[in-house]
Homo-oligomer: A and B are copies of this chain.
Amino acid sequence: MTAPEFDAAFRDEFRTLLRWRRDVRRFRRDHVPQALLTELFALADLAPSVGLSQPWRFVTVADPQRRAAIRANFACENALALGALSDERAAIYARLKLAGLDAAPVQFALFSDPDPAQGHGLGRRTMPETLAFSSVMALHTLWLAARTMGLGLGWISILNPDAARGVLDVPQAWDFIGYFCLGWPEQACETPELEREGWERRRAGEVVER
C-alpha cells in the first residue's frame, strides 16, 4: 500500500479547520443523526495512545435527570468561580455563556481508565498521566472531526468531577476528563468567544531553545 501524500490544498484546508474549530456554547436544538455520532466515536479510536492502551471511555448522557444533575453541578461551580473573582473580572465573567447544556442535543462525558489491561503498561511506568493525555487526544480528534461535519463541540470543566462521576454511575476508579456538548452551532466564528467578549486574547507562543 502506498503512503498518502497531503498536498498544499489539503494543508491549507487543514489550517482552516484548526482556525475555525471553536469551543461552542450556543447550539441549535436540531437532531444529530446517530450515524454521525457513531462515526465520530470510531474516528476517536484512531487517536494516539500510550502503549496502544486506548484508555478513553466515552459515556453518552441522554437521561433527563442525569442531565439536570450535571446542569446543577455546573451552576453551583460556576457561581463559586464567579464569587472568587475581583469585581472587575466578575463583571465580564457574569456576561459569559460558558456552557451549552440548555440546548445541545448531544451530551457526553469522557473518562480515562487509570489501569487498562490493554497496552500491558508500556510507556506509562514513570508517567501514569499519559493515560489521561491519551484520552484527551481522543477527544481532540473527535472535536476536529466534528467540525469537518459542521458540528460544534463545547468542553465543560466547571464541574465537581467526583459529583459528575457519581451522577453518571461509572466505576469509581475512572478519571473524569470532561463533559461535552455537541450539536449544530448557532453561528460559526473564526475568533474565540472569550476573545470576542473581552476575557482574554490569543497570543503567539514563545519557543524556548536549549
Q: Taking beta carbons and an 8 Å cutoff, which residues of A are in contact with B?
A: 1, 3-6, 10-11, 13-21, 23, 41-48, 50-54, 56-63, 66, 77, 80-81, 84, 89, 93, 98, 118-120, 122-127, 129-130, 132-133, 136-137, 140-141, 143-145, 147-150, 155, 157-161, 168-170, 176-178, 187-190, 192, 194-195, 199-205, 207-210
CA distance A35 to B25 in the complex (A): 36
Q: How many copies does the complex hold?
A: 2
Partner of A137, one of B46, B140, B170, B209: B140
Known: A66-B210, A140-B140. A93 touches B122 (CB 8 A): yes
Are A46 and B59 within 8 A (Cβ)?
no
Are B16 and A13 within 8 A (Cβ)?
no
Are A48 and B21 within 8 A (Cβ)?
yes
**What chain B residues lie within 8 Å of A98 (beta carbons)?**
122-123
Query: What is the CB-to-nearest-CB distance from A38 to chain B, in angstroms, rounded to a whole number?
Result: 8
CA distance A157 to B62 in the complex (A): 37
Are A155 and B6 within 8 A (Cβ)?
no
Known: A3-B188, A122-B200, A209-B60. A157 touches B17 (CB 8 A): no
**What chain B residues lie within 8 Å of A207 (beta carbons)?**
41, 58-60
**What chain B residues lie within 8 Å of A59 (beta carbons)?**
207-210
